[in-house]
Amino acid sequence: LANWFYDEQDDYYLDQNGVRFSFKYYSRRKDKTTGQIRDFKIYEADEFQLTPELERLAKTKSGRQWQVRYNPNWQYLKEKAKAVLPSPEGSHIYRMRKYDVEPIFGHLKNVFGMRRTHLRGKKKVETYIGIAFMMMNLSKYWNRRWSKDQFCLSEKKKTVKQLKLRVRLIVFLYLRVSFFPDTFL
């Protein structure tokens, strides 16, 4: 709706194709998990448009009129965030996200292939994510140990350390396969 034309007087939107969406009714939804109540304004494509082509575009594949939900509170918060983001404090906070938060989740998605959890419930998901982070830390630890063990002077110590490391690596891979099965299909 951000790039659509809006007429305040008649309360309707025009999309980029020229289809007119007029205000239909107010709607209230309650989120099942959080209990949060959200208010929407529902806009529906008019049944009669200016041309037959627009009338075709105003309908879904099943023949119903397209509907658009508009949440004024959400729009207000988005505009407020856009106004704060260019400020010095907002840009500093946004810059810090790149170093503090996002690389960890990017590594979790890219290396471990974890795109979603396959569990339900807050406690189960927290446990699942905790195990994933623990595996990330173990992989960092083992990578550092592996590089240190490469330069071991004694051959006997080197073979014993390599054997222990291989056993740990096998256990690690077993855990990885059992907790992230979709990455090894």
Q: Are residues 116 and 147 in the same domain?
A: yes
Nearest of 179, 144, 142, 132 to residue 164 by alpha carbon: 142
| Token representation of residue 83 | 């106004």
Name the H helices within 58-154: 72-84, 88-100, 102-110, 122-149
- pLDDT for res 134: 86
Instruction: Give, for all 185 residues of the chain, the pLDDT tens digit.
Output: 778 999 999 999 999 999 999 999 999 999 888 888 999 999 999 999 999 999 999 999 999 999 999 999 998 999 898 888 888 988 888 888 777 777 788 878 887 778 777 888 889 888 888 888 888 888 888 777 766 655 555 555 666 666 677 777 777 766 666 665 555 44
| Token representation of residue 94 | 């946004």
- Domain of 165? 104-184
- pLDDT for res 153: 52
Q: Are residues 112 and 47 in the same domain?
A: no
- pLDDT for res 137: 85
Please check whether residue 95 lies inside any domain of the structure: no
Please check whether residue 99 lies inside any domain of the structure: no
Please check whether residue 88 lies inside any domain of the structure: no
Q: CB–CB of 21/57 below 8 Å? A: no
- pLDDT for res 76: 92
Report d(CA 71, CA 79) in Å as an integer. Answer: 12
Q: Domains in the chain: how many in total?
A: 2
Report d(CA 180, CA 132) in Å as an integer. Answer: 9
Which DSSP symbol is given to 117?
-
- pLDDT for res 105: 81
φ, ψ for residue 56 (rounded to 5)?
A: -65, -40
Q: Are residues 14 and 74 in the same domain?
A: yes
Q: Are residues 58 and 124 in the same domain?
A: no
Q: Are residues 117 and 77 in the same domain?
A: no
Report d(CA 181, CA 112) in Å as an integer. Answer: 10
Please check whether residue 18 lies inside any domain of the structure: yes
- pLDDT for res 66: 94
